[in-house]
Structure 1
């Protein structure tokens, strides 16, 4: 999510291959050169694909030469998005050639956001085909994975001038609505709050199942919905 003051990221940690095979994996990764750049990546889709992409991107940041493009050496966020997009496309193509022929089986989508010194804060959505789009005034936030249950809340309540605290509340309500309707989304949630111009990792952490604030928000949102529904005029059958 793009705010006037920076970027807000949140991801769940649930992956599953059926109701009896549910696991927890981190879907948010950071690369940082304090004072020079910070890049945050979130992933959704085939776990083997996303893990391969993150591993390749991370290995290239540690390589001693420039034979492979590195996120830590990209001159701009646009070029960083191209690196992520090309890596995702190559990984999917390699998996398809080596076995499974159903292209959708290895698909994944990625959100990339951050800032490189000398350029603005930017947020991109990367598709499995290797192309990407950038967030702007008309599309100030991106969602990947299971999105249909939580999206209406973001569309109705998002404001670019909101504080980080207000944005966290909004995202938790959106995620709460999603996880109550879909078993593929679940706690804990990882988050990162990036302040524009800081060029370093911002406030970040994990919200667990027993988090008192999340329980308060979840219960309060449910109660508020019931109160709002009761306050509306009932349907007149006559």
Structure 2
């Protein structure tokens, strides 16, 4: 399991993912779940993945290889005319990989499943954010759904729902995501540090801050400890049940 969040604000897009992958409690590894393709001045595309590691790696590798061997498939991620067409391309690649990997009759609901968050901007259009399902279909973020989560989503969702504001700065958004990820890390051993963070500022057409956040990161430790203390203070301030 893993945990990834893509969030849209007025200033652009923010992406965060963990790096844990496990096939049981005695087989835990670290793998990057975030892949970035960019042509500065033309496009930035970010893809985060959750689910079966072999499937997600095959999808990302195939998309990447086709950007380098363009004769094999056109258009590639670096040639699609819109983010919508990019989402279609990723969705079709997901279906292609699962069809090639699964025995006859195997479906996307099986152990081969994989889901993705896709975001970015292509010159001449607005930044866009999509969630792509194991079946290869997808939905786009909007006013009512400004963020997507994949993987182990339930523990980190409440803080985002309660505190999100589209006018947030990048710094405030990272604080929000840090709390969301810290809540998930403390609740589920299948999600783990380090975390990968990326900013994309609207119309920049190049990736912004990229950072890997480990257990020794001072800001992460401050947020983790501060959130725990704040919850205790908030709990203690509530009235006791009348006996």
Name the TM-score, length of structure 1 as normaliser: 0.97
1:120 match: 126
Q: Does 1:35 align with 2:41?
A: yes
Give runs of aligned pairs for residues 86-165 of structure 1, distance below 5 A: 86-97=92-103, 103-165=109-171
* 1:55-109 per-position Cα deviation (integer Å, ceiling 9, x unaligned): 0000011114263430000000000000000001111122113797784200010
What SS does the corresponding residue of 2:76 show, helix, strand or coil?
coil
Q: Is the 8 A contact 2:108 2:134 kept in 1?
A: no
TM superposition shift of 1:49: 0.2
Is the Cα contact below 8 Å between 1:46 and 1:106 reproduced in 2?
yes
The equivalent of 2:179 in structure 1 is: 173
TM-aligned CA distance change 1:99 to 1:206, over 3 Å:
farther
Question: Does the CA-based 8 Å contact 1:44-1:109 persist in structure 2?
Answer: yes
> Which ranges in structure 1 are unaligned for 5 or more consecutive residues?
none
1:192 aligns with 2:179: no
- How many residue pairs align between the two structures? 237
The root-mean-square deviation of aligned C-alpha atoms, in Å, is: 1.4
The whole-number CA distance in structure 2 between the counterparts of 1:184 and 1:72 is 33
- Verify the 8 A CA contact 1:178 1:185 in the aligned structure 2: yes
Range with greater deviation from structure 2 (88-97 or 74-83): 88-97
Partner residue of 1:71 out of 77, 85, 89: 77
1:15 aligns with 2:15: no
Whether contact under 8 Å (1:30, 1:41) holds in the other structure is yes
Distance in 2 (CA, whole Å) between partners of 1:119 and 1:160 is 19
Deviations 1:167-215, CA, capped at 9 Å, x for gaps? 0000000000001000010100001000000111111110011101100
Structure 2 segments unaligned to the other structure (5+ residues): 1-6
Matching residue of 1:57 = 63
In 2, Cα distance between the equivalents of 1:76 and 1:126? 16
Question: Are 1:96 and 1:103, in contact at CA under 8 Å, matched by a contact in 2?
Answer: no
Task: Check the 8 A contact 1:125/1:134 in 2, yes or no.
Answer: yes
| Match among 4, 8, 11 for residue 10 of structure 2 | 4
Moved over 2 A (4+): 64-69, 97-103
